[in-house]
C-alpha cells in the first residue's frame, strides 16, 4: 500500500531538501510521480541537488530560502498555488552547531530559528492551501530522539527538537478536530542517519548508521500504517532500546529522580538494570 498523498500529478514540498533525509525524501516523492518543490538555502548545494533530481526525469522546482524567515516561505507558498496540489509537506531543515546552557545567544537564536521556527513557518505557509484543496495530505515534521531523551551535550538542539515534538503533537490534534480536514501531521524521529548533519561531507558511513534512503523508506511504511510517531531504529539501536531509554527519561519525573539521571553517577547502575530487564 501507498498513502494516497503520494500520488502522480501532485506536489511534494520539502525543506532542507539539498542533502540527507530531505534529498532522499525528494527522490522518493519523485518516484511516485510527484513534482518536487525543493527548499534549502540558496547556493550551489541546492542547485546541484535540483539538477541531480531533475536528471532522473522528475519535475523539480528549486527555491532558495532561509526557513527562519516566515515571509520567504509565504512568498514561495503563494507562488506554489500555480503548481499541482501540495499533498506532502516535509519540514525537515535542521542545523546542529554546538551550544551551551550558559551562553551563546546567537547560536541559540539560529538553532531555534531553523529547527523550530522553520517547522512552524513551513506549516503556517503551506497548511491552509493543503486543507483547502480537500485531498488527502500529509505534514511530516522532522524531530529527533534528542528532543525526547534530551541528552547532555547540545541543549539548544535538544530544546528545538523538543519544541518540534510538542508543536507537531498539537498540530495533529488540531487537524483531526477540524471538520472536513484531510491533512494529518506526523513526527519523524530519525535514528543515527549518515548525513551532513551528523558527519563531515565525504566521510565513510559508520556501520551503525542508516543511509538517508533507509530512514525515508521506514517513514513511508510508517505513514502507510497511519503512525504519528515515526520512531526510526538504526543498525546500532533497535526499537526496544529506544523504548527503554524513552521510558527511563519519563520516569525521572514520575520517580522524582535528578534531571538526566541516565547520566548521573548515582543512578548509573539502576539504568543499566533497567536496560537489562525484558
Which 3-state string (H, E, C) describes 210-241?
ECHHHHHHHHHHHHHHCCCEEECCCCCCCHHH
Choose the catalytic residue: 161, 165, 182, 229: 161
Q: How far is CA 73 from CA 13, 24, 42, 275, in A?
A: 11, 21, 13, 44
pLDDT of residue 199: 87
pLDDT of residue 202: 84
Distance of alpha carbon 221 from alpha carbon 104, whole angstroms = 39
- Mean pLDDT per segment of 10 residues, for the chain of length 278 residues? 94 98 98 98 98 98 98 98 97 97 98 98 98 98 98 98 98 98 98 92 93 98 98 98 98 98 98 95
pLDDT of residue 201: 81
Is 145 part of the annotated catalytic residue set? no
pLDDT of residue 278: 82
**H helices then E strands: how many in the chain?**
10, 7
Is 167 part of the annotated catalytic residue set? no
pLDDT of residue 45: 97
pLDDT of residue 150: 98
Partners of 35 in the β-ladder:
11
Q: Cell 549518515 identifies what position?
A: 194
Ramachandran class of 99: left when φ > 0, alpha when ψ lies in -120 to 50, beta otherwise:
beta
Which residue intervals of the chain bear CATH 3.40.50.720?
11-236
CB atoms within 10 A of CB 14: 27
Choose the catalytic residue: 157, 167, 205, 272: 157
The CATH code of the domain at 11-236 is 3.40.50.720
Amino acid at each position: 500500500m501507498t498513502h494516497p498523498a503520494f500520488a502522480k500529478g501532485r506536489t511534494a514540498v520539502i525543506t532542507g531538501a539539498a542533502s540527507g533525509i530531505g534529498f532522499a525524501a525528494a527522490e522518493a516523492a519523485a518516484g511516485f510521480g510527484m513534482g518536487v518543490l525543493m527548499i534549502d538555502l540558496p547556493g550551489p548545494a541546492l542547485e546541484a541537488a535540483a539538477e541531480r533530481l531533475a536528471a532522473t526525469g522528475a519535475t523539480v522546482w528549486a527555491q532558495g530560502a532561509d526557513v527562519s524567515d516566515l515571509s520567504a516561505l509565504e512568498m514561495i507558498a503563494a507562488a506554489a498555488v500555480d503548481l499541482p496540489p501540495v499533498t506532502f509537506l516535509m519540514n525537515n531543515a535542521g542545523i546542529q552547531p554546538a551550544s551551551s546552557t550558559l551562553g551563546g545567544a546567537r547560536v541559540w537564536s539560529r538553532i531555534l530559528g531553523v529547527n523550530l521556527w522553520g517547522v512552524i513557518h513551513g506549516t503556517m505557509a503551506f497548511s491552509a492551501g493543503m486543507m483547502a484543496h480537500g485531498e488527502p495530505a500529509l505534514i511530516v515534521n522532522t524531530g529527533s530522539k534528542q528532543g525526547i531523551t534530551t541528552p547532555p551535550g547540545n541543549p539548544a538542539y535538544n530544546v528545538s527538537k523538543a519544541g518540534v515534538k510538542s508543536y507537531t503533537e498539537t498540530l495533529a490534534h488540531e487537524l483531526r478536530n477540524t471538520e472536513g480536514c484531510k491533512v494529518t501531521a506526523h513526527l519523524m524521529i530519525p535514528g543515527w542517519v549518515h548525513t551532513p548533519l551528523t558527519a563531515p561531507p565525504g566521510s565513510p558511513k559508520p556501520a551503525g548508521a542508516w543511509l538517508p534512503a533507509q530512514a525515508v523508506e521506514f517513514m513511508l511504511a510508517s505513514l502507510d500504517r497511519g503512525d504519528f510517531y515515526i520512531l526510526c531504529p538504526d543498525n546500532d539501536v533497535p526499537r526496544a532500546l529506544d523504548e527503554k531509554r524513552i521510558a527511563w527519561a519519563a520516569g525521572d519525573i514520575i520517580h522524582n529522580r535528578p534531571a538526566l539521571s541516565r547520566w548521573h553517577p548515582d543512578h548509573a547502575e539502576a539504568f543499566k538494570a533497567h536496560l537489562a530487564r525484558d
